[in-house]
Amino acid sequence: MLEAGLEYGYLTNGDAIVFLNIDWTDPTVLRYHLARPAREVLADQDATWSNAVCQDLAFNIMALQSSQHGNDERVAAANKCNKWFVDFGHVLDQILKEEEEREEKEREEKAAHSGSTTPAGKKHRRVPSSPASVTSKKVIVIW
């Protein structure tokens, strides 16, 4: 928002809307309001003003009335703020690693609790129905 010189912005996922506002006198502060229109309509006596369309319309009117900020003001505001550097590749790797560990743990728990056994107490071994059609493939991923 600072780089674009905007006072207002918002995020949405279809259920929730996060309205954002930067006061350009102190650009280090980002104000926000979390709106859940579907829940607010149910809780409000007069649902006219709490639905998503009305909230979005009111927010857009406020944004259109805001002043524009020139390049010098944008650069000065960005220099006042702390930078948060994120290596998105590293974050993605961590998420994938955590998901793989969780899935492996779930598979192990499921196998321990639901393994069918033979009368002799041994677990069944699954064998492909057509061993000749099973091939080994090696996958190489290059980043």
| Nearest residue to 93 via CA among 129, 56, 141 | 141
Confidence of residue 141 (pLDDT cuts 50, 70, 90): very low
What residue segments make up the domains of the chain, in order of their start? 8-70
Do the beta carbons of residue 110 and residue 34 sit within 8 Å? no
Partnered with residue 8 across adjacent β-strands are 21
41-93 tens-digit pLDDT: 788 777 777 788 888 898 999 999 998 889 999 999 989 888 878 888 888 88
Mind listing the pLDDT tens digit for each residue in 13-47? 888 999 999 989 999 999 999 988 888 878 877 77
Contact (Cβ atoms closer than 8 angstroms) between residue 3 and residue 74: yes
Contacts of 75 (CB under 8 A, 6+ apart): none
Q: Where do the H-state alpha helices sit in the chain?
A: 37-43, 52-65, 71-80, 88-114
